[in-house]
Amino acid sequence: MSELISTTEISKVYVMGEERIRALDSVDLTIQKGEYVAFMGPSGSGKSTLMNIIGCLDTPTNGNYILNGNDVSKLTENKLAEIRNKEIGFVFQTFNLLPRSTALDNVALPLVYAGFSKADRSEKALKSLESVGLGERYKHKPNELSGGQRQRVAIARALVNDPSIILADEPTGNLDTKTSYEIMGIFQRLHDSGNTIIMVTHEEDIAQYAHRIIRLRDGNIEKDEINQNVRSIEKVV
């Protein structure tokens, strides 16, 4: 494996009136291509801030962030948007689908910004939907799909640009137990096929599907350990 993510002493300070809130405090972190990592921690631990910086949704106050060989820690918002579209596939707890658009159009959306033709967008989006078992539902709108199916559409959208990282923020937070296992099975398959997955979760049982668990507290990495007992979907009753 080769290095995909490297942060050096990244800090994030939010100024609220006269108060300065240090959300991250000199965090050093390296993630290799092909890893499956979970960020865990209580509310206010810094896990969401770290995810936002890694996902190029925010920039650090101090320190450096190298993504795929490029220093992205001080880029402009337009450059960050380009990096997000090219390098990162996002999966959110609330799905973030356009309600009036079909599954196909939702999945194809990142390709619009990437400059693909309509024919190429449709072809790539359909293949991505097929990869998560929803090829036959490509004409359905979000309100015609179950919660699990909507999350599958969101995963297909995250995959459509062949990103360097799949970044999942509480991907099972709005799903029942059975559907959560199905979604984790998809992530497991994606990791087995070589994808790099970074997941933020507060659920211990969901974190156990990751091969590495990073626990944060008070803006610092409290523990960074290899998961010796990786949970597999085959082991779930």
- All residues at 6 or more sequence positions from 57 whose CB lies less than 8 Å from its CB, including other chains: 80, 84
Measured between alpha carbons, how far is 130 from 124 in angstroms, rounded to an integer? 10
Domain boundaries, the chain: 36-46+76-235
Q: What is the pLDDT of residue 174?
A: 86
- Among 37, 29, 55, 33, residue whose Cα is nearest residue 207: 37
Percent of the chain with pLDDT over 70: 98
Homologous superfamily, domain 36-46+76-235: P-loop containing nucleotide triphosphate hydrolases (3.40.50.300)
Report pLDDT digits (tens) over 73-117. 888 888 999 899 889 999 988 889 999 999 999 999 999 888 899
This prediction has a pTM of 0.90
